[in-house]
């Protein structure tokens, strides 16, 4: 089952959404536009003023900011960033008619592929935090959205692996600003203009990287999580794989680094040659010892067989 938004504000809400569809489609361009010309067009659209994503790699999130989880329990960010697993962070709002449902579909597909292809499970190697930036969203709506999201997964996440949170406007804004995520409420259509991005956060709450727009390719996300985990997650093979790749700002993805591959291959070659020479050396020592033992035994045998005669 793919993600389906759960309506929580009635039929009038949906009529308002239809009237705002054109403006929302313009805002949708913000997540897929990559050319300079497209960006200049976006800059001239009133609905996108003050909307966007600022890379704040290396900066820390406000871990003591209070929110509510889907169980209506008071929580703080530090409960998600527990020092053990990296976190994938998504900003959405639950009544979004277009962009957010598609974002969540992409997240479902990503998590299913991480599990099916790499045996990665939310709550074990990583965590997912879905944060609503609409202060009108409630813990009850968060619970509904979380349940709908889980129905589209092919696996059972571990406890705390997938979180849906809501909060007060000032706390949401503090969190979003710290993450570099900027959105704008449009009262004329009662909707938000925003971009979409998957944000990698280290287990201590330090922003590690961003994946802008769609799709969310599982091989790339796995590399990002491995890098964000700083060696605490993944198998030895996965850690070696991550070493061979590096993030390219120009391409917006992780790319194979020839120098790293050559360095790794050179290191493996040196180790292999060293192991071979060490094995040959030890084998020679053993054989030499065996020859000495055999020679000693033969000499002793000859002495006993041919004792020295003592003259009268």
In a domain, 30, yes or no: yes
pLDDT at 40 over 50: no
Residue 179 lies in a domain: yes
CB 93 within 8 A of CB 8: no
Range picked from 192-201, 232-241, 290-299 for highest mean pLDDT: 192-201
Mean pLDDT throughout 158-170?
97
Cβ atoms of 53 and 213 closer than 8 Å: no
Taking the model in full, what pTM does it have?
0.69
Give 59-73 pLDDT, tens digit per residue. 999 999 999 999 999
Tens digit of each residue's pLDDT (9 = 90 or more) over 10-32: 433 443 444 344 444 444 444 44
The answer to whether residue 259 scores a pLDDT higher than 50 is no
> Looking at the domain assignment, is residue 243 inside a domain?
no
pLDDT at 191: 93
Mean pLDDT, residues 150-160 taken together: 96
Q: What is the CATH number for 123?
A: 3.40.30.10
pLDDT at 100 over 70: yes
Q: What is the DSSP string of the chain?
A: --------S-HHHHHHHHHTHHHHHHHHHHHH--SHHHHHHHHT-GGGTT-EE---TTPBP-TT-EEE-TTS-EEEGGGT--SSS-EEEEEE-TT-SSHHHHHHHHHHHHHHHHHHHH---BTTTBEEEEEE--TT--HHHHHHHHHHHHHT-SS-PPTTSEEEEB--HHHHHHHHHHHTEE-EEETTTTEEE---EEEEE-TTSBEEEEEESS---HHHHHHHHHHHHTTSSS-HHHHHHHHTEEEETTTTEEEE-HHHHHHHHHHHHHHHHHHHHHHHHHHHHHHHHHHHHHHHHHHHHHHHHSPPPPP-
Q: Which pLDDT value is given to residue 300?
A: 56
Q: Is residue 46 part of a domain?
A: yes
Instruction: Note whether residue 51 is domain-resident.
Output: yes
Domain that holds residue 174: 11-231
Number of structural domains the chain divides into:
1
Give a yes or no: residue 257 inside a domain.
no
Q: Is residue 271 in a domain?
A: no
Which tens digit of pLDDT belongs to each residue from 186-226?
999 999 999 999 999 999 999 999 998 888 999 999 999 99
- Give the Å distances, CA to CA, from 199 to 71, 143, 221, 245: 24, 22, 10, 19
- Express as a percent the part of the chain with pLDDT over 90: 53
Signed CA dihedral, 18, 23, 25, 27: sign only: negative
């Amino acid at each position: 089952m793919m993600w389906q938004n759960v309506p929580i504000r009635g039929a009038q809400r949906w009529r308002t959404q239809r009237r705002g569809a054109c403006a929302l489609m313009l805002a949708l361009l913000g997540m897929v536009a990559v050319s300079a010309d497209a960006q200049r067009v976006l800059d001239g659209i009133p609905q996108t003023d003050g909307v966007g994503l600022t890379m704040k790699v290396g900066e820390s999130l406000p871990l003591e900011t209070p929110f509510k989880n889907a169980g209506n329990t008071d929580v703080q960010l530090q409960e998600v960033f527990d020092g053990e697993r990296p976190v994938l962070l998504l900003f959405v709002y639950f009544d979004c008619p277009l962009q957010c449902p598609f974002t969540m579909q992409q997240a479902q597909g990503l998590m299913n592929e991480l599990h099916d292809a790499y045996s990665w499970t939310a709550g074990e190697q990583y965590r997912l935090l879905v944060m609503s930036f609409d202060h009108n969203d409630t813990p009850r709506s968060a619970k509904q959205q979380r349940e709908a999201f889980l129905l589209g997964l092919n696996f059972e996440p571990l406890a705390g692996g997938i979180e849906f949170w809501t909060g007060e406007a000032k706390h949401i804004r503090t969190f979003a600003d710290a993450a570099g995520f900027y959105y704008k409420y449009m009262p004329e259509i009662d909707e938000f203009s925003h971009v979409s991005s998957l944000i990698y956060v280290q287990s201590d709450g330090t922003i590690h990287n961003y994946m802008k727009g769609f799709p969310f390719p599982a091989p790339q996300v796995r590399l990002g999580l491995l890098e964000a985990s700083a060696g605490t997650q993944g198998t030895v093979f996965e850690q070696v794989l991550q070493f061979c790749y590096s993030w390219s700002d120009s391409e917006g993805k992780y790319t194979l680094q020839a120098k790293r591959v050559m360095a790794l291959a050179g290191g493996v070659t040196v180790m292999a040659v060293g192991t071979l020479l060490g094995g040959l050396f030890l084998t020679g020592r053993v054989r030499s010892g065996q020859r000495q033992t055999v020679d000693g035994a033969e000499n002793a045998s000859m002495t006993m067989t041919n004792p020295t005669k003592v003259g009268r």
